A and B are shown apart, each in its own frame.
Chain A
Amino acid sequence: DGGITQSPKYLFRKEGQNVTLSCEQNLNHDAMYWYRQDPGQGLRLIYYSQIVNDFQKGDIAEGYSVSREKKESFPLTVTSAQKNPTAFYLCASSIGGQVNEQFFGPGTRLTVL
């Protein structure tokens, strides 16, 4: 079955540690996205990538980093510079282009203790 996988489902880290969230897709999509979701605030775009080896900052990129070395993978690193990292993180992908229908993974809930 084609789809997007995110791992792990739940992640706990100590304050000050960097952590990397995994996102893999086998839909052959060119574009991939990372969103942060907090209660009552909808989805906020962190980073997006329209093609391999290229990515752009979204609305809340500070304290995060990404890479796009392979078409099917778009890992997100939450660095110690992110002041409030506890949130639900969603990865998505799309074919690319203007229509931008997005397919979402199941999400990773990160809790920083």
Chain B
Amino acid sequence: AQSVTQLDSQVPVFEEAPVELRCNYSSSVSVYLFWYVQYPNQGLQLLLKYLSGSTLVKGINGFEAEFNKSQTSFHLRKPSVHISDTAEYFCAVSVNAGKSTFGDGTTLTVKP
């Protein structure tokens, strides 16, 4: 069975600073990887996904993530955050047809 670990439950940063949200996964087979964002009292929205090909994936709102197979990681990065990036971020992996496994989430708080 696959699992996902988001290494930081909370990440506070100042506006315009860079940020990295860390995600590790475990799986014995090839995976598809996703990052979702959730704003307060809303559903999740897809930020980006890795299916195959280039290991550097670009998503919406200036976010990008790098798939590292040897380290089984899929860390999310943004070079300069805004107040509006304050939200909860979820890493997810799908292996078996039909469902995904989500991490516990990382709360990103951007301070002025």
The chain A residues found within 8 Å of chain B, CB to CB, are 4, 6, 31, 33, 40-43, 45, 48, 50, 56, 58, 88, 90, 92, 96-107, 109
Contact = CB atoms under 8 A, between A and B. Distances in A.
B99 A107 contact: no
A100 B97 contact: yes
Contacts of A43: 44, 90, 102
Contacts, number: 66
Contacts of B44: 43, 90, 92, 102, 104
A100 B43 contact: no
A35 to B, nearest CB: 8
A104 B104 contact: no
Interface in B70-112: 90, 92, 94-100, 102-105
A105 to B, nearest CB: 5
Nearest to B32: A99
Contacts of A4: 43
B42 interface: yes
A66 to B, nearest CB: 14
Given A106-B43, A107-B43, A98 B97 contact: yes
Nearest to B96: A98
B10 to A, nearest CB: 10
Given A6-B43, A40-B105, A88-B41, 6 more contacts: A40-B104, A96-B98, A99-B49, A100-B32, A100-B97, A107-B43
Contact of A106 (B42, B99, B102): B42
Contacts of B105: 40, 42
A98 B41 contact: no
B26 interface: no
B91 to A, nearest CB: 10
Interface in B13-54: 32, 34, 36, 41-46, 49, 51
Contacts of B41: 88, 107, 109
Contact of A42 (B49, B94, B97, B103): B103
A41 B98 contact: no
A41 B102 CA distance: 10
